[in-house]
Structure 1
Amino acid sequence: MDKTAACRVLLVDDHPLFRRGLAQLLEDSPHFTVVQELENGNHLLDALHSQQPQLLLLDLNMPQQSGLELLQLVRERQFPVRIVVITASEDDDDLFRALAMGADGFLMKDTAPAEMLESLQRAMTGKIALNPDSVDRLAQSLRETATTNSQNPALSSTGNHPTSALSPQPYTPDLTARERQTLLLIAQGLNNKLIARKLGISDGTVKVYVKSLLRKLDLHSRLELAAWVHKHPDATSLEL
């Protein structure tokens, strides 16, 4: 099998059986090639330098350094690699923190093989790789957060954010009032048609606002916009 153009993958997981199984799944695909496997993060930076992978797969719960600690380390060093967390954890905090720290995906270890490959390919195209259940969990939490903030404006203005696992960040981007309103409605799970109806504008205008938000916030998808609101709760303290 010619893998000249295959995505180079570095895999870090302390469970040998799962690690070998995932590596075999990737090797059987024409789209991926595993350049190295690690059982912990001790030699991760060396491997990133020597192997120059395009995709890093991180287990979440590992001894010595957790997947989140390694994720933060890699992002701080600004390695040009896409990172997907693969875990058995169903904790919402883990999901939100991973996305907030720059993960390009969060997949469960019991994901079906075909779905796993499809999701990882999606991550390599600049999209967020999530299982349907994780999407539902994220959307539900965002809706609850938006509702809480709208009912308790003081929480947004002081930075308190009881339903979010993420540390509040100062709101700094220069967004227009309409862009902020659009951002809030995206966080509530509304599609463009419903946003247009809510704001009394056309679908085309909403698309312009969404593109502007992605550009100004340096994001790539609506899901990333919603996750951004989780990091910046003060961005949802809007009057509609």
Structure 2
Amino acid sequence: MIRVLLVDDQRLIRAGLRMLCEPAADIEVVGEADGGQAAVRLAGELCPDLVLMDLRMPGMDGITATQRILAERPSTRVVALTTFDDDDHLYPALAAGACGFLVKDTSPNELLEAIRKAADGDTPFSAGVVKRIVDSAVRARASVPTATLPKLTTREREVLALVGAGYANVDIAERLHLGVTTVKTHIASLMTKTGCSNRVRLAVLAVRSGTTTE
């Protein structure tokens, strides 16, 4: 069971998210917070597995709340859920420790899958966000020489290319006809071999090294 804390200053949004989550047999909404301060307090009291975090709220915003929650409970997964799909919200959320970034026009099924992916250690992003991160990072490093990869297996290169293209673990598994657990093993190996601490850095490395997929 995935224990979820909903954080949004709009009651109607929280009600909608609760109605969406409650029918799912593997997801339990354990609490709601209408702002950052309440989110930090409830995260400590309720120990959720995952927090769906609005970013722009009166008082303590979602960025600060994310930082404080993860400082106290590093194992908590925080997914930003926001109306604002722009770099001014994306990069601060990631820097604060959010493991995913979704916009509020995400479909109900995509949101539920994102909750499951995040709880399972994956990094869910709305369509186009990973590509934007990678493109921005590559442009910012235009003067840096092409990255050189360590020795990788053929399968690891295939997985790396798909990470660079923005595919989630489930999608990579389907394209390569692998189990999701096997994909996770390959990604863990890639992080160890390349020194990348997260999926976004792996994606940037894939592009900078010329490891691409059709």
Partner residue of 1:211? 189
Distance in 2 of aligned mates of 1:54 and 1:144 = 35
| One of 114, 119, 140 as aligned partner of 1:119 | 114
Contact 2:50 2:76 in 1 (8 A): yes
1:210-236 C-alpha deviation (Å, 9 max, x unpaired): 825347747353x34347x8xxxxxx8
Question: Larger radius of gyration, structure 1 or 2?
Answer: 1
SS where residue 53 of structure 1 aligns? coil
- Tell me whether 1:110 sits opposite 2:98 in the alignment: no
SS where residue 128 of structure 2 aligns? helix
Partner residue of 1:155? none
Partner residue of 2:211? none
Distance in 2 of aligned mates of 1:26 and 1:33 = 7
Gaps of at least 5 residues in structure 2 are 153-159, 165-184, 209-214
Contact 1:214 1:220 in 2 (8 A): no
- Tell me whether 1:191 sits opposite 2:161 in the alignment: yes
Distance in 1 of aligned mates of 2:11 and 2:18 = 10
1:53 is aligned with what amino acid? P
Q: What are the residue-to-residue correspondences of 1:74-153 with 2, within 5 Å?
A: 74-150=69-145
Count of residues in Structure 1 that have an aligned counterpart in Structure 2: 178
Q: What are the residue-to-residue correspondences of 1:212-231 with 2, within 5 Å?
A: 213-214=191-192, 217=195, 219=197, 221=199, 223-226=200-203
Contact 2:8 2:33 in 1 (8 A): yes
SS where residue 34 of structure 1 aligns? strand
Residue 142 of structure 1 deviates from its aligned partner by 2.0
SS where residue 129 of structure 1 aligns? coil
C-alpha spacing 1:214/1:14, structure 2 compared with 1 (3 Å): farther
2:114 is aligned with what amino acid? S
Partner residue of 2:38? 43
Partner residue of 1:203? none
Partner residue of 1:53? 48
C-alpha spacing 1:146/1:67, structure 2 compared with 1 (3 Å): same
1:136-182 C-alpha deviation (Å, 9 max, x unpaired): 2112212212324459xxxxxxxxxxxxxxxxxxxxxxxxx744x99
SS where residue 147 of structure 1 aligns? coil
Gaps of at least 5 residues in structure 1 are 1-5, 152-176, 183-189, 195-206, 230-235
Q: Considering only aligned residues, what root-mean-square deviation do their CA atoms show, in Å?
A: 3.2
C-alpha spacing 1:191/1:52, structure 2 compared with 1 (3 Å): same
Contact 1:12 1:40 in 2 (8 A): yes
SS where residue 191 of structure 1 aligns? helix
